[in-house]
Each structure stands twice: as structure tokens, then as C-alpha cells.
A and B are shown apart, each in its own frame.
Chain A
Amino acid sequence: MTRFFSLIGRGLLQHRAMMYLLVGFALFPLYTGFADLPFWNDVAIRIMLLGMASMGLNLVLGYSGMVSFGHAAFFGIGAYCVGISSYYDIFNGWIHIGFSLVTCGLMGVIIGLLSLRTSGIYFIMITLAFAQMLFFGFVSLETFGGDDGMSIDRAEFGLIDLYEPLRLYFLVWAALVIVSLLLMFIVHSRFGVTLRAIKSNESRVEAMGLTPLKFKITAYVISAMICGLAGTLFASWQEYVSPDIMHWTRSGELMIIIILGGLGTLAGPLLGAIAFLLLEEFLPELIQAIAPDYAENWMIVFGPILIAIVMFGRGGLLGLLIKLFQRKGAS
């Protein structure tokens, strides 16, 4: 327990940022309740789930330096675990989650073992190839809706009825808290530190008598399982799943979220998800107000904003925030 508190205290701004964000998400429904904006609860759920998936990917991308361009596949597998279970009349959410964790874990081992033999651009390509394979695999599975996908009912979690307002919201929140704590421990553990060492210099880690592949594959599997969990909850929230959920652009989206928020940081991906989805939400409206003719092309503004943050704010949004806080502290 003391170690738990020392973790939150240490790393200072990093962990505090994470705490503030989690507390913020817990209190957010109060605001939407008073202001009568239930729509925003759904936006927050979306942010939390994409944030969670990005946090999972970040273990591989940010902490171990492996650029996986196929993590949407695990998000999608997690989602299809709900769809396929429901098709066979299994509606228990705990079973969905268990099914998803086991499947994503196994797929993580298989894809990881095959792709981690390569590195650099080859690794990027092979992870993308696996994701595309799965994408087209699901497109061709007519039983499960093929291209059109399938509608599903929200899962049943015993006494928690997800159709009651805010039940799903807090289920997602609780999952996010658990994933955050898990990652907080992993990242600062001996395993996590060794992962970062592998990112910094693999051959030195080997010279210490360790087998880097063992660490990389473990990180890959953990990250696949986290993405799967996010996907499972996402499907239950959306009440619908189609191959689009694992389209390669979503893999890119997750990477953008991480880089936007802060690569290799705990709070970065969540912060990135907030920024990314809010921009996606507000930019079209903003442009509609200023220049209605261009509203459909809001991506033209979106792109340069992302590029600017990545170029000028090294360390992403979290890096910018920390710099801001430190300057305030210094003066």
C-alpha cells in the first residue's frame, strides 16, 4: 500500500496528471447532469475507450519503441468477441471480457512471435499486414454480418444494467482506472524499466544476459489485451460491430493520439484522446460557423494542428503542460 502511494507521489506531475484526468472523468457526469447534456457522456465514454486502447498501444510504441501499425486489430477482435458471443446467445459481459482477453492474448502471442523477428520498417509493415488480414477476414465472415457488421445488445453484468443511465459510463471508468494502475506499476517495475532499456539500446540489454525478445513479446501481449478490453467495452457501448472498427485508419488514429498526448508517458495517451476527439467534435462546427463552404473539409485544418503540436511541442501535450507548470513553479 505504501508503495502504491509512493508511486502516485513520485514521478510527480506525470502521475498527478493521470490522477486529475481520472478524477475529472469521475466527476464529469455531475456536470453533464446539471447542464443536461447527456450526449457528452457518450463523448466521454468514447474518449475513455480510445484513450485506454492508446494507453495499451503506448506500452509497445512509447515504452518499448516498437512501431506497431496494427493495433486496431486487437481493438476489433475485442469488439467481435462481444458480437460473436451474442450471436451464440452468450450475453454475460464478464464472459465477453474473459473471451476477449484470452483471444487477444493468444493473437498477441502469434502475431508478436511472427512480427517481432523483424524491426524498423519491416515491423511496421508486417503488423499492418496482419491487421489487414484480420480486417478482410471479418469482412468475408457473412455469418457475423460481413461488411455490414452486426447489431448487438449491451452485455449483461449481473446486477449492473448497462441500459440504466451512467452504468456503462462508470463500468468504462472503472476499467480505465484498473488499466491505468496496472500500467503505472508495470512501467515503473523492473520489467518496465528493462523495456525502456531495450528501447534505448537492445544490444546492451543483451550484454546484460537478458533476452530482449521475451520482454518485447510480453509487452506486446499485454498491450494487445488492453486494446481488446477497450474494444469489448466499445462494442457494448456502440451496440454494433463491423469490420470498420478495425480499419487501418484506426491504428493510425491510436498512434496519432499517443504522439499528440505524449509518447512514452502514462497520462499522455488519455490527454491525447481528449484533445483528438474534442478537436474532431468541435472543429467541424467551428469551421461551419466561419466558412460554411469548407465545413466538410475540416480535416484540412485538423492535419496542420496535429503536425504543429507534434513538431513544436516535443513530448506532446503532456510535455507542454509540464513545461508550463514548471515555468510557473520557477517564477
Chain B
Amino acid sequence: MSSPILQLDGVMKSYDALLATNNVSLDVVAGEIHALIGPNGAGKTTLIKQIYGSERPDSGRILLNGEDITSLSVPKRVRKGIGRSFQISNVLTDFTMRENAIIAAQAQRQEAFQFFLPAFDDASLIEDAMVILDAVGLTPKANILVSELAHGERRLLELALAMAGEPCLLLLDEPMAGAGPQESQHMTDIISALRACHGILLIEHDMDAVFALADRITVLVEGAVIAHGTSAEISQNPAVREAYLGREDEAC
């Protein structure tokens, strides 16, 4: 097993009386997809937010490649190598796909604070943008306004933007949410291929996708880790079946 990219060490977070994250420790190693599952309200997104930096833990440490990032701001963490896709599509809707990718490309090059360099008509930025879009197969639609895109395509664009910063760790918060079966399959294929160069922490409700993708699974209930293991171990774990999978079955 290679050294962990991300390490959480006893992370705690509470909102008033509600304990949202209860002493969570987990790690993500290079080349693996680590899925975080749990019923609604288990604190999965809250945990992702603390790794990403938009929320700070009350105690505990978060390490990225061995470096303590617990007190860093979001942009600093992103520059250290964290990419994120959000639960609700979070892309630049007033721009075309190509423009979205160009803005990401110039940010990645640390050239966003340039007053006299062209942006949307710069040949080398366009080239970079096309590489970004190509990674998720969106190049044919580069010139379409995001607000005119279908939901699934927005999800793909968001994934492409998250990868544009060449992160070592990708935080994917329900990338399949709201996607049709075909789109889900497409997304699963893409995420699976990403494993080669990124560590991925994945939150997903689509259990088929989780079992198809995940190398390891951590189950979170009421903010605490109740089980942790490989896909096979988790699917056999009686406590998990009761707390999570069973309830999911009833719901359907």
C-alpha cells in the first residue's frame, strides 16, 4: 500500500448540540477510490467540507500528503492539490463550456491576475481548455452555454473543472445525483479511469456505482464511522446492512 494522500485524524465537528462529525479517522491512498456512504444526515457532506476547507473542524487534524492543512483556506488547499465537485452542480452558468475550461486553465497556470493578457481568445489557453474538456468527452459541445446544457453534461463539466487543477485528491460529492442510467454508467467509467492518477473520496447514494467503483468503503452514521473495509466486507457486514443498506431497500 502506498503512502496516504489524505489522512483524517480524530476529526470532530459539532453545530450546537448536534454532533456532525464524531472522531472520524480515515485515509485515502494514491490510486484508490474511497467511498463514503451513510444515510441522509450522516454527516458525509459536512466531512467533505472540512477536508475542502469551507468548514473547520473543532478538533482533530487533516493531513494532505503528510502536511497539516487543518487551518488553511479553501484556495490554499486547492492549490495544494484538492479538487472538488459539489452535490449541487457548481459551474459557471453564464459562460460556455470552453470559457469555463479557459477560466480554470488560467487559474491553474496562476495567471488569473493578469490585466493585459487576453483570455478567451488566447490560443494556448484554448488548447489547455480543450484538453480539460476532452478528459470527459465534452469537446464537441465546447461552444454551448452552460445554462443550455442538460444536467448530466453539467455534472461532467464540473468533474472536468475539478480535475483541471491537476489535484492529487478529488472530493466527489454525489457525482451521479440526478443522472439517468446511461449518464451514470458514463460517469462511472470516467471516474474509474481517474483512479490511475488521483486519490478519490467519493460520496454516492447510487449503490451500484459505489460497489462498481470503490476499493474501500467507510460507512458513516450520525457522524461516526461504524464500519470500514473493502466493498466485499462492507456488503457482508450485518451492522451496515441494518443501519444503511436495509433502510435503503425499504425506502425504494
Contact = CB atoms under 8 A, between A and B. Distances in A.
Interface of A: 3, 6, 10, 185-186, 188-194, 196-197, 199-201, 203-211, 214-215, 218
A220 to B, nearest CB: 15
Given A194-B107, A207-B161, A209-B78, A200 B95 contact: yes
A191 B115 contact: yes
B115 A209 contact: no
A201 B91 contact: yes
A314 to B, nearest CB: 14
B84 interface: yes
A209 B75 contact: yes
Nearest to A204: B90
B181 interface: no
Ordered nearest first, which 10 A-B pairs have the shortest CB separation? A209-B78, A208-B107, A193-B119, A190-B114, A200-B94, A209-B79, A194-B112, A200-B92, A190-B119, A211-B75
22 contacts: A188-B120, A190-B112, A190-B113, A193-B102, A193-B103, A194-B112, A197-B103, A199-B94, A203-B86, A203-B90, A204-B90, A204-B91, A204-B92, A205-B103, A207-B162, A208-B78, A208-B104, A208-B164, A210-B107, A210-B112, A214-B113, A215-B113
B123 interface: no
Given A189-B119, A200-B94, 11 more contacts: A10-B121, A189-B118, A193-B102, A193-B106, A196-B95, A203-B90, A207-B161, A208-B104, A208-B107, A209-B79, A211-B75
A56 to B, nearest CB: 15
A317 to B, nearest CB: 21
A194 B93 CA distance: 14
A191 to B, nearest CB: 5
B117 interface: yes
Contacts of A189: 114-119
A207 B90 contact: yes
B146 to A, nearest CB: 9
Interface string B141-180: 0000000000000000000011011000000000000000
Contacts of A191: 112-115
B14 interface: no
Contacts of A194: 103, 106-107, 112-113
A207 B119 CA distance: 19
Nearest to A211: B75
B190 interface: no
A207 B84 contact: yes
A31 to B, nearest CB: 36
Point out which of A3, A190, A192, A199 has the most chain B C-beta atoms below 10 A from its C-beta: A190
Interface of B: 73-75, 78-79, 83-84, 86, 90-95, 99, 102-104, 106-108, 111-121, 161-162, 164-165
Contacts, number: 98
B193 to A, nearest CB: 22
A206 B94 CA distance: 17
A3 B118 contact: yes
Contacts of A186: 115
Contacts of B112: 190-191, 194, 208, 210, 215
Contacts of B103: 193-194, 197, 205, 208
Contact of B92 (A201, A206, A218): A201
A186 B114 CA distance: 9
A218 B116 CA distance: 14
A45 B223 CA distance: 65
Contacts of B104: 208
Contacts of A215: 112-113
A186 B119 CA distance: 10
B78 A207 contact: yes
A197 B90 contact: no
Point out which of A186, A200, A205, A207 has the most chain B C-beta atoms below 10 A from its C-beta: A207
A206 B75 contact: yes
A188 B118 contact: yes
Contacts of A197: 92, 95, 103
Contacts of A201: 90-93
A259 B89 CA distance: 30
A211 B93 contact: no
Contacts of B93: 200-201
A191 B162 CA distance: 20
A210 B79 CA distance: 8
B106 A190 contact: yes
B116 A208 contact: no
Contacts of A207: 74, 78, 83-84, 86, 90, 161-162
Nearest to B102: A193
A211 B73 CA distance: 9
Nearest to B104: A208
Nearest to A195: B112
B129 to A, nearest CB: 12
A194 B92 CA distance: 11
Point out which of B78, B84, B118 has the most chain A C-beta atoms below 10 A from its C-beta: B118
A218 B114 CA distance: 12
A4 B74 CA distance: 36
Contacts of B161: 204, 207-208
